[in-house]
């Protein structure tokens, strides 16, 4: 085999390993989304667990691949928003767009609350977020959950003070 063929095969093997690693890291419990406002669209959502919660401004696999490439010393664009916690915690990390006003998509205007089977709601603490004013308005947020999620809870996204429900995310696979 020639050295160029060996390099190509080695490169393909490295890419395959990286993609497999990204897929393994990206495994998630199931999330069932019900959109309650037709102007609202959830682009991506996931539950994060650990002491670092990241919000990639693109999709998760691409963001994780870019971080892996940076770790190997290669130049790769985009840095995620990141939240560090002192103890291991759970967080809901979500990106969404919609035809609502830019003010509605201000990180302080969209709230997440956990609703348990008894109907009790607990507001999640907003840890980090961003909003883009360009239309359609895009927003991304990291909310810390007060307790570990279970299969019996729903996370409801609403506008401030619960005025307008946007979506419900049913958690499963925990």
Per-residue pLDDT at 55? 82
pTM: 0.71
Residues in the chain: 174
With CA atoms as reference, report the closest residue to 138 among 34, 57, 80.
57
Neighbours of 109 (CB within 10 A): 19
Domain boundaries along the sequence of the chain:
28-171
Per-residue pLDDT at 77? 67
The pLDDT tens digits for 142-167 are 899 888 887 778 899 888 766 788 89
Q: Which two tokens stand for residue 14?
A: 């490295």
Q: Which two tokens stand for residue 121?
A: 């709601």
Per-residue pLDDT at 130? 77
Per-residue pLDDT at 158? 86
Per-residue pLDDT at 28? 58
So what CATH class is 28-171? mainly beta
Q: Please give the Cα distance from 36 to 26 (Å, whole number).
A: 27
On the CB side of 102, CA atoms within 13 Å amount to 6
Per-residue pLDDT at 46? 85
With CA atoms as reference, report the closest residue to 121 among 145, 103, 140.
145
Per-residue pLDDT at 120? 87
**Residue ranges, the chain, pLDDT below 50:** none
Q: Counting beta carbons within 10 angstroms of the beta carbon of residue 86, is it exposed (0 to 12), middle (13 to 18) or buried (19 or more)?
A: exposed
The pLDDT tens digits for 34-51 are 988 888 888 888 888 889
Q: Which two tokens stand for residue 134?
A: 């360009």
Per-residue pLDDT at 136? 67
């Amino acid at each position: 085999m020639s050295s160029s063929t060996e390099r190509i095969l080695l490169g393909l093997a490295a890419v395959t390993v990286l993609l497999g690693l990204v897929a393994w890291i990206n495994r998630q419990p199931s999330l069932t989304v019900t959109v309650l406002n037709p102007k609202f669209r959830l682009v991506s959502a996931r539950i994060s667990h650990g002491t670092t919660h990241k919000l990639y401004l693109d999709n998760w696999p691409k963001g994780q691949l870019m971080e892996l490439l940076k770790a190997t010393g290669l130049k790769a664009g985009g840095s995620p928003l990141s939240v560090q916690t002192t103890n291991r915690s759970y967080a809901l990390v979500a990106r969404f767009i919609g035809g609502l006003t830019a003010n509605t998509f201000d990180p302080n205007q969209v709230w997440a609350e956990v609703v348990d089977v008894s109907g009790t709601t607990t507001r999640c603490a907003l840890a980090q977020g961003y909003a883009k004013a360009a239309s359609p308005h895009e927003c991304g947020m990291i909310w810390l959950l007060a307790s570990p999620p279970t299969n019996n809870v729903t996370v409801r996204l609403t506008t401030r003070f619960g005025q307008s429900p946007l979506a419900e995310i049913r958690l499963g696979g925990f």
